[in-house]
A = this chain, B = another copy of it.
Amino acid sequence: MAQITLLEAVTQALAHELAADPRVVVFGQDVGANGGVFRATNGLQQAFGAERVLDTPLAENMIAGIAVGMATQGLRPVAEFQFMGFIYPALDHILSHAARFRNRTRGRLSCPLVYRAPYGGGIHAPEHHSESTEAIFTHIPGLRVVVPSSPARAYGLLLAAIRDPDPVIFLEPKRIYRAAKQEVPDNGEALPLDRCFVLREGQDLTLIAWGAALKETLAAADQLAAEGIEAEVIDPATLKPLDIHTVIDSLEKTRRCVVVHEAARFGGLGGEIAAQINEYAFDLLDAPVARVTGYDTVMPYYRLEYDYLPSVERILAVARETLDYRAGGAR
């Protein structure tokens, strides 16, 4: 079987569901003949017809809004935002409607839909093309927020997202769209949306990261391993609802934790994870939960983008501080 990229795994999942479920409709800007600006929908219009794979006019608020309307009538819309930086005009429909229709109508109408968007920095793109503001969405009750970090997880999680009876924000780390290949059987098997994935086991330190930042996080773990320090690496994948128990289980072993994300630090998801660890596992902790994140500034134009993104060096530095931490206070 051929090895495929994360990007191709997305396409494979979309094709699988288009074939399996006549209610599935794929739409967005340039998803048709062009196959999407990243080619995530490559060949789908040709294969499934322009009635099921549609180019929309240029309006993200519209894309989000019509998806809501479609979903309430039993379709399974899968809408693409061309880049996460262009999802903001759509927030109202996502937050006020997609996430609330079921609750508002006491279950009478619901929004089984997927909003996909390539996200994150690191591809030398123009302004607004490198956003990672997942924390805006993880704060919204009623949503699921999912970020795959490998071809297999992209395939299995996207299947799950499309089949999920509720709205899912599916953020695709475009920096690793083509970074690695993997065999991904097209077997229609979904992955769970309520479990963290433990990518690497270890007992000395827990590293938590998702999306493209796992690249540097795993590299840091390798480096630590070379020094005899075994880091456990956890990919939550589904950022909301978050499976904190897998994290706590890990901390039972490691007692030390570093969270890594590209997004700005203040109000990023790292804070929530740290707070929950604090709440669930305060007694376990031998060091404060540390964060390695994007800075609290606007993602810079590309010349400085790698100065902004968490690097292996930054992760290692904070990991070492966390490992070396010895309580200095009274407790």
Question: What residues make up the interface of A, taking CB atoms closer than 8 Å to B?
Answer: 61, 85, 88-89, 91-92, 95-96, 99-100, 103-104, 127-128, 133, 135-136, 138-142, 240-242, 263-264, 266-272, 274-276, 278-279, 282-291, 295-298, 327-331
Q: Kindly list 6 other residue pairs between chains A and B, CB separation below 8 angstroms, not including A89-B91, A272-B275, A274-B274.
A: A139-B263, A267-B272, A271-B271, A275-B275, A278-B288, A331-B331
Contact B283 A327 (CB under 8 A): yes
| A139 and B331 contact, Cβ closer than 8 Å, known pairs A85-B96, A88-B92 | no
Contact A127 B104 (CB under 8 A): yes
Closest to A103 in B: B298
A252: min CB distance to chain B, Å = 10
| A269 and B272 contact, Cβ closer than 8 Å, known pairs A92-B89, A289-B278 | no
Contact A282 B287 (CB under 8 A): yes
A257: min CB distance to chain B, Å = 10
The docked-state distance in angstroms from the alpha carbon of A66 to that of B251 is 50
Contact A329 B240 (CB under 8 A): no
A64: min CB distance to chain B, Å = 11
Contact B135 A267 (CB under 8 A): yes
Closest to A264 in B: B141
Point out the residues of chain B lying under 8 angstroms from A284, CB to CB. Answer: 329
| A139 and B88 contact, Cβ closer than 8 Å, known pairs A282-B288, A331-B327 | no
Point out the residues of chain B lying under 8 angstroms from A138, CB to CB. Answer: 266-267
Point out the residues of chain B lying under 8 angstroms from A274, CB to CB. Answer: 271, 274-275, 278-279
| A271 and B275 contact, Cβ closer than 8 Å, known pairs A128-B96, A141-B298, A283-B330 | yes
